[in-house]
Chains A and B, each alone.
Chain A
């Protein structure tokens, strides 16, 4: 496809369950970012990947959060033992390289009940 895609678009899960969110970036975008946006709030940086370099994980809020990306392909964000405060929209964005314009996917709305 032409744009960044994310799946699922919506996810409702019970507290304590693990969830996996997927991001499929634009072909050729070497940099990939994950953000969290709580209702009515700004973007909260979680992690970014740049090619095969070590990811910048400085924004991950706890060790329940992890993300993977192999090369310039799909990325997955995993949240273990979900808590109600994890409820938010999780946004993925890609760019040609770190510092270039970012293009966002439609997001995954996560609701933890």
Chain B
């Protein structure tokens, strides 16, 4: 059973702080990794994709991947109340289906 695990939260951070979201996965053959944001009542929205070990930065978001530890994280700098949402980690082994984690609910407090 291929699994993706995330802390369900809620993770509460003050406005302007760094939010750190973590994800672990069980399938060592996983090749691609994604973070999605889902606002309440809306569909998931792609934030970042990462394919290689290390960091990938896009604006206030940084994804970090460590395949040896089977760990992927998302850092959100200068968190804003508008970042309050559920963040979904997704993992794919090419040619196979995506596996989504259960999501971490983030609350950014003004």
Contact = CB atoms under 8 A, between A and B. Distances in A.
Prevailing SS type, chain A contact patch? loop
Interface residues of A, number: 23
Interface string A78-107: 000000000001010100001111111111
Contact size class for B?
A: 20 to 34
A1 interface: no
Contacts of B99: 45
Contacts of B102: 41-42
B97 A43 contact: no
Contact of A56 (B43, B46, B49, B97): B97
A45 B34 contact: no
A45 B46 CA distance: 17
B98 A33 contact: yes
B43 A45 contact: no
Interface string A33-63: 1010000011101001000000010110000
A42 B88 contact: yes
